[in-house]
Amino acid sequence: MTAIDMKICIKCTGCIDICPESALFLGEDAAIKCDYEKCISCGDCVDYCPVNAISIND
Amino acid sequence: MEEYDVIVIGAGHNGLTVAGYLAKAGLNVCVLERAGFIGGEAITRELTVPGFKHDRSSSIHGLIHANPLLLNDELGLLSKHGLKYIFPDSNMSYIFPDETSMVSYPDLDKTCQQIAQFSEKDADTYRSFCEESKPMLDMLVAGMFNPPPPLGEFYAQLDRSPEGQQILRHLFMSGYDIVNKLFEHEKTKIAMLKFMSEPMVAPEDKGTAFYLYAAIPLSHYFPHGIPIGGSGMLSEALGSAIKTYGGVIKVASEVKKITVKGGRAASVILASGEEISARRAIVANLDPRLVFPHMISETDKGFAARIAEIQDPGFSAILQHMALNEAPKWKAGEHIGKSISIEPLCWLENLRRLFDDLRYGLIPSPENLAPCIFCTTVLDPTRAPAGKHTLYLWHYMPYFLKDGGPRKWDEIKTQVADMVLDKMRLHTTNMGPENIIARTTYSPIDYERMNPNVVNGSILGPGSYLHQFFSHRPIPELGQYRTPVEGLYMSGQSFHPGGSITGGGRATVQVIMADLKIDFSNVIKQ
């Protein structure tokens, strides 16, 4: 499960485009969201995030 | 191994410009970008809530309109790749603490009328200042999009005529010295000083008068514009041109190393481990501090020491993006909202203290604030849902905080953002919480986190100081875009003509083509 901590996220939105499956998106509530149907837990977003706001939990 | 004629590292608008001309010349070009999108900081994205498109960093396009890239549409960006500009009637609206205002128009007469509200003498001085600066401006503009003249030659050229000698004397002075000498009214002085500080220079630093000469008259000869759809449309158009000319762009492709074989830059190694080789050249569209020694270690110690000497500008900025229900209503009058940039100012002594605060790494006091505000959706409604607006609220801030360094920003970002918003609220009637749908704030350290090329929060690259100017930008050895490694070139905001949206890659590409025995004049004629 990809989790985004919006308390840490600075909303650079870079993770949205780095995701190879287009699973990440900007939600109506102004938070970065993950579509778990699409997410393959590859960790590219985790590596890219400049503030370590994203983690992948089992 | 994949192989190209030229590899460009970094898809900021300068790197894309370099790649565009090289691809047009028939070279097999590959652009490699770390992020998942192209444009560097010339990008427009949803940053608050869906449907609201914000220019993440660069927004107003000024200098690029003097560049043959657009003037002669050399890459077909305007005619074939969908780039369209809006040129608003007014560039800037300055609002003073007493709610009087001064609007700067591309039209010199109209601007002089605005100044004459406060001082007829200043209006006349402003007119003659703009007209008398024209010869130097023509020389500057001609040199801006070509490889830089040797710094000494630029000075020598000015030193050959009495008029030039006068300008030369002034260049070594501070903007404040000149403004104080030329103008009598406090409001004229404040507006001029704020305008000239835009290249991220403190107006009382010696050697900053250049920006008074360059930026202010230039705004009357080359009006500021905004691309329809956002600043990122320039990058999209460049990307489209590169592909049309047969070039390749790879995003999510971070370069970790540049390899050197037989003394020549030979290939790049990506974070994934993949190696891509370049037959003829590698162009690093990056701050040199990211390249030497991190990507390439084959340089001598003296060179490394000079790289370390590159000086940052004195300050960075805090940026708030907002999604709004309605455009700001300005107390100073409805006409204010039609300017590209709206700048509520403080009094002269406060403005001087603002730059002192920045110099000492302090958060400016509320009475010293002078933000820059863009509500581009008033001019270009395509960037937000019908009837809604985006807001760009920007303010100079120190990167290194005296108390706690850059990381301290994570604790105080929201509080400082609120203080800047409160300054805007003093001059508007509808900026309460009910108007703000969402807000995203970037601190100086966030700028660098979003894009490592913004080294130490230096939004326009290394400081715009006279010693890092023309062929000496950022150091003399790199000033002609060549590096100590054969076949490796540099481009981007760290090099002439410097930061902001300039299309400066056009200058870089001429040096590369000369070395590759390609006739640049033929390429642009096609």
A23 touches chain B (CB under 8 A): no
pLDDT in tens, A7-56: 999 999 999 999 999 999 999 999 999 999 999 999 999 999 999 999 99
Looking at residue B143, its pLDDT comes to 86
Statement: residue B222 has pLDDT above 90: no
Strand ranges inside B83-185, DSSP E: 85-86, 92-95, 101-104
Tell me which of B446, B447, B454 to substitute to probe the interface with A (most A C-beta atoms closer than 10 Å).
Answer: B446
Q: Is the dihedral of CA B506, B510, B516, B517 positive or negative?
A: positive
Nearest to A18 among B45, B252, B438 (CB): B252
B49 touches chain A (CB under 8 A): yes
pLDDT: is B439 or B162 the higher one?
A: B439
Looking at residue B299, its pLDDT comes to 79
8 A C-beta contact, residue B493 and residue B460: yes
Question: What is the residue extent of each domain of chain B?
Answer: 2-42+61-84+229-311+462-525, 108-221, 313-450
Cis status, amide bond into B476, omega within 30 of 0: no
C-alpha B397/C-alpha B118 separation (Å) is 30
B421's CB contacts (< 8 A; 6+ apart) are B320, B393, B431
Looking at residue B266, its pLDDT comes to 97
pLDDT in tens, B382-438: 999 999 999 999 999 999 999 999 999 999 999 999 999 999 999 999 999 999 999
Cβ <8 Å between A10 and B450: yes
CATH number of B2-42+61-84+229-311+462-525: 3.50.50.60
A35 touches chain B (CB under 8 A): no
Looking at residue B171, its pLDDT comes to 86
Tell me which of A7, A8, A9, A11 to substitute to probe the interface with B (most B C-beta atoms closer than 10 Å).
Answer: A11
| Mean model confidence pLDDT for chain B | 96
| Selection from B488, B464, B466 nearest residue B477 by Cα | B488
Nearest to A11 among B35, B37, B47 (CB): B47
Statement: residue A58 has pLDDT above 80: no
Of all residues in chain B, the percent with pLDDT exceeding 70 is 100
| Selection from B102, B143, B144, B96 nearest residue B119 by Cα | B102
Statement: residue B170 has pLDDT above 90: no
CA distances from B336 to B69, B98, B104, B226, B467 (A): 32, 15, 11, 17, 38
Cβ <8 Å between B449 and A51: yes
| Mean model confidence pLDDT for chain A | 96
The pLDDT-based confidence of B297 (bands split at 50, 70, 90) is confident
The pLDDT-based confidence of B134 (bands split at 50, 70, 90) is confident
Nearest to B46 among A14, A26, A50 (CB): A26
Cβ <8 Å between B450 and A14: yes
Question: What is the residue extent of each domain of chain A?
Answer: 2-56
Nearest to A26 among B50, B56, B450 (CB): B50
Cβ <8 Å between A51 and B438: no
Looking at residue B139, its pLDDT comes to 81
So what CATH class is A2-56?
alpha beta
B405's CB contacts (< 8 A; 6+ apart) are none
